Amino acid sequence: MPTSARRWVLASRPEGKPVRDNFRLEEIDLPDPGENEILIRTEYHSVDPGMRSRLSGDSYAAALPLGATIDSAMVGVVEKSNNEKFAPGNLVTGGFGWVSHALSNGRGVQKLDPSLFHGPLRPTAAIGALGIPGLTSYFGLLDLGKPKEGQTVLISSAAGPVGATAGQIAKMKGCRVVGIAGSERKCDYVRGLGFDGAFDYHDANLAEAIKTHCPDGVDIYFDNVGAGMLDAALLNMKEHGRIVVSGQVAEYNAAQPIGIRHVTRFITHRLRMEGLVVFDYFKQFPTAQAKMARWIHEGALQYTEDISEGLEGSADAFIGLFEGENLGRRLVKVS
Ligand SMILES: NC(=O)c1ccc[n+]([C@@H]2O[C@H](COP(=O)([O-])OP(=O)(O)OC[C@H]3O[C@@H](n4cnc5c(N)ncnc54)[C@H](OP(=O)(O)O)[C@@H]3O)[C@@H](O)[C@H]2O)c1
Protein backbone atom coordinates (compact mmCIF):
# COMPACT_ATOMS: atom_id res chain seq x y z
CA MET A 1 0.00 0.00 0.00
CA PRO A 2 1.32 3.47 -0.80
CA THR A 3 2.33 5.73 2.04
CA SER A 4 2.43 8.76 -0.20
CA ALA A 5 0.39 10.12 -3.06
CA ARG A 6 1.00 12.65 -5.83
CA ARG A 7 -1.34 15.47 -6.69
CA TRP A 8 -1.43 18.58 -8.84
CA VAL A 9 -2.27 21.87 -7.13
CA LEU A 10 -2.93 25.40 -8.32
CA ALA A 11 0.37 27.27 -7.91
CA SER A 12 -0.73 30.63 -9.37
CA ARG A 13 -3.77 32.01 -11.15
CA PRO A 14 -3.47 31.97 -14.94
CA GLU A 15 -3.63 35.20 -16.86
CA GLY A 16 -4.70 34.39 -20.38
CA LYS A 17 -3.88 30.90 -21.58
CA PRO A 18 -2.76 28.68 -18.67
CA VAL A 19 0.94 27.82 -18.54
CA ARG A 20 2.81 25.00 -16.86
CA ASP A 21 3.97 27.26 -13.96
CA ASN A 22 0.35 27.78 -12.89
CA PHE A 23 0.44 24.19 -11.63
CA ARG A 24 2.64 22.25 -9.19
CA LEU A 25 3.00 18.50 -8.76
CA GLU A 26 3.39 17.60 -5.08
CA GLU A 27 3.98 14.50 -3.05
CA ILE A 28 1.87 14.16 0.09
CA ASP A 29 1.71 11.64 2.92
CA LEU A 30 -1.14 9.24 2.73
CA PRO A 31 -2.45 7.90 6.04
CA ASP A 32 -4.17 4.51 6.21
CA PRO A 33 -7.93 4.75 5.70
CA GLY A 34 -9.69 5.56 8.96
CA GLU A 35 -13.06 4.38 10.18
CA ASN A 36 -15.56 4.21 7.30
CA GLU A 37 -12.92 5.36 4.79
CA ILE A 38 -11.69 3.87 1.54
CA LEU A 39 -8.43 4.25 -0.35
CA ILE A 40 -8.84 4.68 -4.10
CA ARG A 41 -6.07 4.36 -6.70
CA THR A 42 -6.72 6.56 -9.73
CA GLU A 43 -6.69 4.79 -13.07
CA TYR A 44 -7.77 7.78 -15.18
CA HIS A 45 -8.62 11.38 -14.51
CA SER A 46 -10.17 13.86 -16.91
CA VAL A 47 -9.02 17.33 -17.93
CA ASP A 48 -11.87 19.74 -18.62
CA PRO A 49 -11.88 23.13 -20.38
CA GLY A 50 -14.56 24.40 -17.96
CA MET A 51 -11.97 24.10 -15.17
CA ARG A 52 -10.24 27.16 -16.62
CA SER A 53 -12.78 29.61 -15.14
CA ARG A 54 -12.38 28.16 -11.66
CA LEU A 55 -8.62 28.68 -11.81
CA SER A 56 -9.11 32.42 -12.03
CA GLY A 57 -12.36 32.57 -10.08
CA ASP A 58 -14.70 33.40 -12.94
CA SER A 59 -17.25 30.59 -12.71
CA TYR A 60 -20.63 29.66 -11.29
CA ALA A 61 -18.62 27.37 -8.99
CA ALA A 62 -16.34 28.76 -6.31
CA ALA A 63 -12.80 29.78 -7.30
CA LEU A 64 -10.24 27.09 -6.61
CA PRO A 65 -8.00 28.31 -3.75
CA LEU A 66 -4.27 28.54 -4.40
CA GLY A 67 -2.62 25.33 -3.22
CA ALA A 68 -5.80 23.28 -3.71
CA THR A 69 -5.91 20.08 -5.76
CA ILE A 70 -7.09 20.65 -9.33
CA ASP A 71 -10.60 19.25 -9.66
CA SER A 72 -11.66 16.64 -12.18
CA ALA A 73 -13.53 13.40 -12.52
CA MET A 74 -11.68 10.10 -12.05
CA VAL A 75 -12.12 6.39 -12.48
CA GLY A 76 -10.27 4.34 -9.90
CA VAL A 77 -10.00 1.08 -8.01
CA VAL A 78 -10.73 0.66 -4.32
CA GLU A 79 -7.48 -0.63 -2.82
CA LYS A 80 -8.49 -0.74 0.83
CA SER A 81 -11.88 -0.36 2.48
CA ASN A 82 -13.18 0.21 5.98
CA ASN A 83 -16.57 1.06 4.54
CA GLU A 84 -19.13 -1.71 4.20
CA LYS A 85 -20.46 -0.27 0.92
CA PHE A 86 -17.12 -0.82 -0.87
CA ALA A 87 -14.80 -3.77 -1.29
CA PRO A 88 -11.21 -3.87 -2.54
CA GLY A 89 -11.23 -4.24 -6.31
CA ASN A 90 -14.42 -2.23 -6.84
CA LEU A 91 -14.20 0.12 -9.83
CA VAL A 92 -15.51 3.55 -8.83
CA THR A 93 -15.88 7.12 -10.05
CA GLY A 94 -15.53 10.25 -8.00
CA GLY A 95 -14.43 13.85 -8.21
CA PHE A 96 -11.00 13.67 -6.60
CA GLY A 97 -9.04 15.59 -9.19
CA TRP A 98 -5.55 15.23 -10.59
CA VAL A 99 -4.33 12.77 -7.94
CA SER A 100 -2.68 9.36 -7.83
CA HIS A 101 -4.68 8.19 -4.79
CA ALA A 102 -7.56 9.50 -2.73
CA LEU A 103 -9.00 8.81 0.69
CA SER A 104 -12.76 9.12 0.96
CA ASN A 105 -15.62 8.40 3.31
CA GLY A 106 -17.51 7.20 0.23
CA ARG A 107 -19.69 10.27 -0.23
CA GLY A 108 -20.05 11.08 -3.92
CA VAL A 109 -18.22 7.87 -4.88
CA GLN A 110 -20.14 5.61 -7.23
CA LYS A 111 -19.46 1.97 -7.96
CA LEU A 112 -19.52 1.08 -11.65
CA ASP A 113 -22.14 -1.52 -12.41
CA PRO A 114 -20.35 -4.40 -14.23
CA SER A 115 -23.62 -5.39 -15.92
CA LEU A 116 -23.58 -1.96 -17.62
CA PHE A 117 -19.88 -1.34 -18.15
CA HIS A 118 -18.73 -4.02 -20.56
CA GLY A 119 -18.04 -4.32 -24.28
CA PRO A 120 -18.18 -0.91 -25.98
CA LEU A 121 -19.10 0.81 -22.70
CA ARG A 122 -15.67 1.07 -21.12
CA PRO A 123 -15.31 2.20 -17.48
CA THR A 124 -13.80 5.47 -18.70
CA ALA A 125 -17.13 6.29 -20.38
CA ALA A 126 -18.46 6.88 -16.85
CA ILE A 127 -16.50 10.17 -16.88
CA GLY A 128 -17.03 10.86 -20.58
CA ALA A 129 -19.98 9.85 -22.71
CA LEU A 130 -22.00 8.96 -19.61
CA GLY A 131 -20.33 11.59 -17.45
CA ILE A 132 -20.54 15.37 -17.40
CA PRO A 133 -19.69 15.91 -21.11
CA GLY A 134 -22.29 13.42 -22.36
CA LEU A 135 -24.92 14.70 -19.95
CA THR A 136 -24.24 18.28 -21.05
CA SER A 137 -24.92 17.26 -24.65
CA TYR A 138 -28.02 15.31 -23.69
CA PHE A 139 -29.75 17.96 -21.57
CA GLY A 140 -28.42 20.92 -23.52
CA LEU A 141 -29.65 19.61 -26.83
CA LEU A 142 -32.88 17.94 -25.74
CA ASP A 143 -34.09 20.25 -22.98
CA LEU A 144 -32.85 23.63 -24.22
CA GLY A 145 -32.46 22.99 -27.94
CA LYS A 146 -35.71 21.01 -28.31
CA PRO A 147 -34.77 19.56 -31.71
CA LYS A 148 -37.47 18.55 -34.18
CA GLU A 149 -37.16 16.31 -37.19
CA GLY A 150 -35.84 18.12 -40.26
CA GLN A 151 -34.32 21.01 -38.31
CA THR A 152 -30.73 22.17 -38.82
CA VAL A 153 -28.37 21.95 -35.86
CA LEU A 154 -24.99 23.70 -35.91
CA ILE A 155 -22.39 22.64 -33.32
CA SER A 156 -19.08 24.31 -32.45
CA SER A 157 -16.08 22.39 -31.09
CA ALA A 158 -17.87 19.51 -32.74
CA ALA A 159 -15.08 16.95 -32.26
CA GLY A 160 -14.93 17.41 -28.48
CA PRO A 161 -16.89 15.02 -26.28
CA VAL A 162 -19.78 17.45 -25.77
CA GLY A 163 -20.05 18.47 -29.43
CA ALA A 164 -19.67 14.97 -30.88
CA THR A 165 -22.31 13.54 -28.54
CA ALA A 166 -24.74 16.41 -29.15
CA GLY A 167 -24.39 15.91 -32.90
CA GLN A 168 -25.15 12.19 -32.72
CA ILE A 169 -28.21 12.78 -30.52
CA ALA A 170 -29.42 15.44 -32.96
CA LYS A 171 -29.06 12.90 -35.79
CA MET A 172 -31.16 10.41 -33.79
CA LYS A 173 -33.84 13.12 -33.64
CA GLY A 174 -33.84 13.37 -37.44
CA CYS A 175 -31.99 16.68 -37.69
CA ARG A 176 -29.48 17.84 -40.25
CA VAL A 177 -26.24 18.41 -38.34
CA VAL A 178 -23.24 20.57 -39.23
CA GLY A 179 -20.10 20.71 -37.13
CA ILE A 180 -17.39 23.34 -36.80
CA ALA A 181 -13.96 22.08 -35.74
CA GLY A 182 -10.30 23.06 -35.77
CA SER A 183 -8.83 20.70 -38.38
CA GLU A 184 -9.72 18.54 -41.38
CA ARG A 185 -8.96 15.46 -39.26
CA LYS A 186 -11.58 16.55 -36.75
CA CYS A 187 -14.06 17.31 -39.55
CA ASP A 188 -13.52 13.82 -41.00
CA TYR A 189 -14.10 12.36 -37.56
CA VAL A 190 -17.49 14.05 -37.09
CA ARG A 191 -18.58 13.20 -40.63
CA GLY A 192 -17.73 9.60 -39.72
CA LEU A 193 -20.11 9.92 -36.76
CA GLY A 194 -22.92 10.81 -39.15
CA PHE A 195 -22.73 14.63 -39.23
CA ASP A 196 -24.08 15.87 -42.56
CA GLY A 197 -21.34 18.46 -42.93
CA ALA A 198 -18.36 19.96 -41.17
CA PHE A 199 -15.79 22.68 -41.79
CA ASP A 200 -12.51 23.86 -40.31
CA TYR A 201 -12.95 27.38 -38.94
CA HIS A 202 -9.31 28.39 -39.40
CA ASP A 203 -8.96 30.89 -42.22
CA ALA A 204 -12.71 30.66 -42.89
CA ASN A 205 -15.02 33.62 -43.09
CA LEU A 206 -17.21 32.14 -40.40
CA ALA A 207 -20.52 33.73 -41.31
CA GLU A 208 -20.08 32.79 -44.99
CA ALA A 209 -18.90 29.24 -44.19
CA ILE A 210 -21.96 28.67 -41.98
CA LYS A 211 -24.20 30.00 -44.76
CA THR A 212 -22.60 27.64 -47.26
CA HIS A 213 -23.14 24.63 -44.99
CA CYS A 214 -26.56 25.69 -43.70
CA PRO A 215 -28.10 27.44 -46.74
CA ASP A 216 -31.60 27.43 -45.22
CA GLY A 217 -30.38 28.78 -41.89
CA VAL A 218 -29.81 27.30 -38.44
CA ASP A 219 -32.60 26.23 -36.09
CA ILE A 220 -30.37 25.31 -33.16
CA TYR A 221 -26.86 26.50 -32.50
CA PHE A 222 -25.19 24.37 -29.81
CA ASP A 223 -22.41 26.69 -28.71
CA ASN A 224 -19.26 25.39 -27.04
CA VAL A 225 -17.05 28.27 -28.17
CA GLY A 226 -18.68 31.73 -27.99
CA ALA A 227 -16.94 34.94 -29.21
CA GLY A 228 -16.73 35.38 -33.01
CA MET A 229 -18.21 31.97 -33.72
CA LEU A 230 -21.33 32.85 -31.78
CA ASP A 231 -21.63 36.14 -33.65
CA ALA A 232 -21.29 34.37 -37.00
CA ALA A 233 -23.91 31.81 -35.99
CA LEU A 234 -26.28 34.60 -34.95
CA LEU A 235 -26.18 35.99 -38.48
CA ASN A 236 -27.37 32.62 -39.79
CA MET A 237 -30.13 31.80 -37.31
CA LYS A 238 -33.63 31.13 -38.60
CA GLU A 239 -36.61 32.87 -37.06
CA HIS A 240 -37.44 31.40 -33.65
CA GLY A 241 -34.02 29.73 -33.57
CA ARG A 242 -32.51 28.60 -30.28
CA ILE A 243 -28.97 29.02 -29.05
CA VAL A 244 -27.80 26.59 -26.38
CA VAL A 245 -24.89 28.08 -24.45
CA SER A 246 -22.94 25.03 -23.33
CA GLY A 247 -19.44 26.50 -23.19
CA GLN A 248 -17.44 29.55 -24.21
CA VAL A 249 -13.96 28.16 -24.67
CA ALA A 250 -12.86 31.11 -26.82
CA GLU A 251 -13.74 33.44 -23.94
CA TYR A 252 -12.11 31.47 -21.10
CA ASN A 253 -8.60 32.87 -21.63
CA ALA A 254 -9.64 36.36 -22.76
CA ALA A 255 -8.50 39.22 -20.50
CA GLN A 256 -11.73 41.06 -21.32
CA PRO A 257 -14.97 39.38 -22.48
CA ILE A 258 -15.21 39.40 -26.29
CA GLY A 259 -18.99 39.13 -26.37
CA ILE A 260 -21.50 39.29 -29.18
CA ARG A 261 -22.35 42.24 -31.38
CA HIS A 262 -25.37 41.18 -33.41
CA VAL A 263 -27.86 41.45 -30.58
CA THR A 264 -30.47 43.04 -32.87
CA ARG A 265 -30.91 39.60 -34.45
CA PHE A 266 -32.64 38.48 -31.27
CA ILE A 267 -35.40 40.96 -32.05
CA THR A 268 -35.64 40.61 -35.80
CA HIS A 269 -35.47 36.80 -35.71
CA ARG A 270 -37.24 36.20 -32.36
CA LEU A 271 -34.29 34.17 -31.09
CA ARG A 272 -33.82 32.53 -27.72
CA MET A 273 -30.47 31.94 -26.06
CA GLU A 274 -30.15 29.98 -22.84
CA GLY A 275 -27.22 28.82 -20.76
CA LEU A 276 -26.90 25.44 -19.14
CA VAL A 277 -25.44 24.20 -15.87
CA VAL A 278 -25.59 20.45 -16.26
CA PHE A 279 -25.71 19.85 -12.50
CA ASP A 280 -29.20 21.42 -12.46
CA TYR A 281 -30.35 18.13 -14.01
CA PHE A 282 -28.71 16.01 -11.32
CA LYS A 283 -31.88 14.09 -10.41
CA GLN A 284 -32.38 13.10 -14.04
CA PHE A 285 -28.80 11.86 -14.54
CA PRO A 286 -29.58 8.13 -13.95
CA THR A 287 -32.37 8.09 -16.55
CA ALA A 288 -30.23 9.85 -19.14
CA GLN A 289 -27.24 7.62 -18.39
CA ALA A 290 -29.32 4.46 -18.76
CA LYS A 291 -30.58 5.68 -22.13
CA MET A 292 -27.12 6.67 -23.36
CA ALA A 293 -25.65 3.37 -22.13
CA ARG A 294 -28.25 1.55 -24.21
CA TRP A 295 -27.40 3.66 -27.26
CA ILE A 296 -23.71 2.82 -26.84
CA HIS A 297 -24.40 -0.91 -26.49
CA GLU A 298 -26.66 -0.79 -29.56
CA GLY A 299 -23.97 1.05 -31.56
CA ALA A 300 -26.13 4.17 -31.98
CA LEU A 301 -23.81 6.43 -29.97
CA GLN A 302 -20.02 6.42 -30.38
CA TYR A 303 -17.35 8.11 -28.34
CA THR A 304 -13.62 8.63 -28.64
CA GLU A 305 -11.05 9.09 -25.93
CA ASP A 306 -7.79 10.96 -26.22
CA ILE A 307 -5.58 9.43 -23.56
CA SER A 308 -2.17 10.64 -22.41
CA GLU A 309 0.06 8.58 -20.11
CA GLY A 310 1.23 9.57 -16.66
CA LEU A 311 0.15 11.97 -13.93
CA GLU A 312 3.24 14.10 -14.56
CA GLY A 313 1.65 15.17 -17.87
CA SER A 314 -1.70 16.35 -16.46
CA ALA A 315 -0.97 20.09 -16.66
CA ASP A 316 0.24 19.81 -20.26
CA ALA A 317 -2.81 17.71 -21.16
CA PHE A 318 -5.04 20.46 -19.77
CA ILE A 319 -3.17 23.30 -21.48
CA GLY A 320 -3.38 21.38 -24.77
CA LEU A 321 -7.19 21.68 -24.69
CA PHE A 322 -6.75 25.35 -25.54
CA GLU A 323 -4.47 24.47 -28.47
CA GLY A 324 -7.07 22.14 -29.98
CA GLU A 325 -4.87 19.09 -29.31
CA ASN A 326 -7.63 16.73 -28.22
CA LEU A 327 -9.93 14.75 -30.44
CA GLY A 328 -12.61 13.35 -28.13
CA ARG A 329 -12.59 13.14 -24.35
CA ARG A 330 -9.15 13.97 -23.00
CA LEU A 331 -8.10 11.69 -20.14
CA VAL A 332 -4.85 11.08 -18.31
CA LYS A 333 -3.95 7.46 -17.56
CA VAL A 334 -2.48 7.54 -14.07
CA SER A 335 -2.00 3.83 -13.28
N1 LIG B 1 -22.58 24.10 -19.20
C2 LIG B 1 -22.16 23.01 -18.61
O3 LIG B 1 -22.74 22.54 -17.61
C4 LIG B 1 -20.96 22.32 -19.16
C5 LIG B 1 -20.52 21.08 -18.69
C6 LIG B 1 -19.40 20.48 -19.29
C7 LIG B 1 -18.72 21.15 -20.32
N8 LIG B 1 -19.17 22.37 -20.72
C9 LIG B 1 -18.50 23.10 -21.80
O10 LIG B 1 -18.71 22.42 -23.01
C11 LIG B 1 -17.67 22.79 -23.91
C12 LIG B 1 -17.13 21.54 -24.59
O13 LIG B 1 -16.50 20.73 -23.60
P14 LIG B 1 -15.69 19.44 -23.98
O15 LIG B 1 -15.38 18.75 -22.72
O16 LIG B 1 -16.40 18.73 -25.09
O17 LIG B 1 -14.32 20.03 -24.49
P18 LIG B 1 -13.75 20.28 -25.95
O19 LIG B 1 -14.85 20.76 -26.85
O20 LIG B 1 -12.99 19.10 -26.40
O21 LIG B 1 -12.77 21.50 -25.66
C22 LIG B 1 -11.49 21.58 -26.19
C23 LIG B 1 -11.58 21.99 -27.65
O24 LIG B 1 -12.07 23.34 -27.72
C25 LIG B 1 -11.64 23.90 -28.93
N26 LIG B 1 -11.05 25.23 -28.67
C27 LIG B 1 -10.12 25.53 -27.74
N28 LIG B 1 -9.82 26.85 -27.78
C29 LIG B 1 -10.60 27.38 -28.76
C30 LIG B 1 -10.77 28.69 -29.29
N31 LIG B 1 -10.10 29.73 -28.81
N32 LIG B 1 -11.66 28.87 -30.30
C33 LIG B 1 -12.36 27.82 -30.80
N34 LIG B 1 -12.26 26.56 -30.33
C35 LIG B 1 -11.39 26.34 -29.34
C36 LIG B 1 -10.55 22.98 -29.50
O37 LIG B 1 -11.12 22.27 -30.58
P38 LIG B 1 -10.91 22.78 -32.10
O39 LIG B 1 -9.66 22.11 -32.59
O40 LIG B 1 -12.14 22.32 -32.78
O41 LIG B 1 -10.75 24.26 -32.06
C42 LIG B 1 -10.27 22.03 -28.36
O43 LIG B 1 -9.83 20.77 -28.82
C44 LIG B 1 -16.60 23.52 -23.08
O45 LIG B 1 -16.64 24.88 -23.39
C46 LIG B 1 -16.99 23.23 -21.66
O47 LIG B 1 -16.64 24.26 -20.78
C48 LIG B 1 -20.27 22.94 -20.18
Is 53 close to ligand 1, i.e. is its CB under 6 Å away?
Answer: no
Task: Check pLDDT > 80 for residue 216.
Answer: yes
Residue from 51, 55, 157 whose mutation best tests the ligand 1 pocket (most atoms within 8 A of CB): 157
| Mean pLDDT in residue range 94-111 | 97
Angle at 255 between CA 249 and CA 259, to 5 degrees: 60
Is 181 close to ligand 1, i.e. is its CB under 6 Å away?
Answer: yes
Task: Check pLDDT > 90 for residue 61.
Answer: no
Task: Check pLDDT > 80 for residue 116.
Answer: yes
Split at pLDDT 50, 70, 90, the class of 70 is: very high
The CATH class of 132-279 is: alpha beta
User: To the nearest whole percent, how much of the chain has pLDDT over 70?
Assistant: 99
CA 269 – ligand 1 centroid, Å: 27
CATH code linked to domain 3-128+303-333: 3.90.180.10
Split at pLDDT 50, 70, 90, the class of 78 is: very high
- Output the pLDDT for position 1: 63
| Mean pLDDT in residue range 50-67 | 87
Split at pLDDT 50, 70, 90, the class of 192 is: very high
pLDDT in tens, 221-265: 999 999 999 999 999 999 999 999 999 999 999 988 899 999 999
- Output the pLDDT for position 204: 87
- Output the pLDDT for position 45: 98
Are 30 and 3 in contact by the 8 Å Cβ rule? The answer is: yes
* Minimal-distance CA residue to ligand 1 atom 29: 250
Residue from 224, 245, 331 whose mutation best tests the ligand 1 pocket (most atoms within 8 A of CB): 224
Split at pLDDT 50, 70, 90, the class of 319 is: very high
Residues in contact with 184: Cβ distance below 8 Å, sequence separation at least 6, in sequence order = 200
For the CA of 133, the closest atom of ligand 1 is 6
Q: Which of 142, 82, 91, 150 is nearest to 116 (CA)?
A: 91
Split at pLDDT 50, 70, 90, the class of 2 is: low
- Output the pLDDT for position 165: 98
| Mean pLDDT in residue range 21-45 | 97
Domain borders along the chain are 3-128+303-333, 132-279
Task: For residues 84 and 76, give the distance between their C-alpha atoms in angstroms, rounded to a whole number.
Answer: 18
Q: How many alpha carbons fall within 13 Å on the CB side of residue 251?
A: 22
Burial class (CB in 10 A: 0-12, 13-18, 19+), 29: exposed
Is 210 close to ligand 1, i.e. is its CB under 6 Å away?
Answer: no
| Mean pLDDT in residue range 293-318 | 98
Q: Provide φ and ψ at 269, rounded to 5°.
A: -110, 10
How many other CB atoms are found less than 10 A from the CB of residue 267? 8
CA 326 – ligand 1 centroid, Å: 10
Are 166 and 144 in contact by the 8 Å Cβ rule? The answer is: no
- Output the pLDDT for position 203: 84
- Output the pLDDT for position 60: 72
Split at pLDDT 50, 70, 90, the class of 142 is: very high
Task: Check pLDDT > 90 for residue 59.
Answer: no
| Mean pLDDT in residue range 161-170 | 98
